[in-house]
Amino acid sequence: MTKHYFTIQNSSTGLYKEKGSKFLGFAEPVTSEDEIKEKLDGLKAKYHDARHHCYAYVLGADRKVYRANDDGEPNHSAGDPILGQLHSKQLTNVLVVVVRYFGGIKLGVGGLIHAYKTAAEFALANAGVVKKEVTVEINLRYPYEFTNEVMKLIHDFDMTITGQDFLEICITRAKVGVHHIDAVTNKVQLLADTGKKIEFTKITV
């Protein structure tokens, strides 16, 4: 089970020039394909006069969702070199777009591969890599009188509260590191054994 993943801290850019052609690299933190489409559409609108908008992205803690696009460049000469930079740095939830302005001199497939790889590398170098914990969202259900025990549970396992309802039966929604789940399960069972009926379930999306 994947417990951590690496992504970028902020949006960043990089520039590589070769024989008159300019390769503008853009690295963007993303979490969904809808967000990727929005970022791509924005860059295509801003740099509408560029010949190519090549890109690659990786999504998910397990890095199993990915795509590369050459946008009219020779097959595997643009998208794959960009994707290679994401894979080599073990990054996920990242989109890298390289916008090319043609300078009049053809670079050949080898030259294109080097240019797109380098522009992607420059953009990522300025982004700042961060390590993030894989979390699971859970629901905690409990009678109001056990609120202190639940708050202690949240503190002890470094959970992040995402929502709360204080009724006769209270509900607290929280995110917890996936590596804590077994320990949380055991702790809740121990509390139940002492008469403190606290239940929790994972929230599935």
Report DSSP state, residue 104.
S
Q: Which residue has the tokens 């740095």?
A: 89
Q: Which domains does the chain have, with CATH numbers?
A: 4-132 (3.30.230.30), 135-202 (3.30.70.240)
pTM of the prediction?
0.78
- pLDDT of 202 reads 80
CA distance 89 to 124: 9
Residue-by-residue DSSP string for 38-102: HHHHHHHHHTTT-SEEEEEEEESTT--EEEEE-TTSSTTSSHHHHHHHHHHTTB-SEEEEEEEE-
| Per-residue tens of pLDDT for the chain, all 205 residues | 678 899 999 999 999 999 999 999 999 999 999 999 999 999 999 999 999 999 999 999 889 999 999 999 999 999 999 999 999 999 999 999 999 999 888 899 999 999 999 999 999 998 989 998 888 899 999 998 899 999 999 999 999 999 999 888 999 999 998 888 889 989 988 888 888 888 888 875 4
Is residue 142 a contact partner of residue 199, using CB atoms and an 8 Å limit?
A: yes
Q: Which helix (H) or strand (E) holds 156?
A: helix 147-156
- pLDDT of 1 reads 63
Alpha-carbon torsion (5, 9, 13, 18), positive or negative = negative
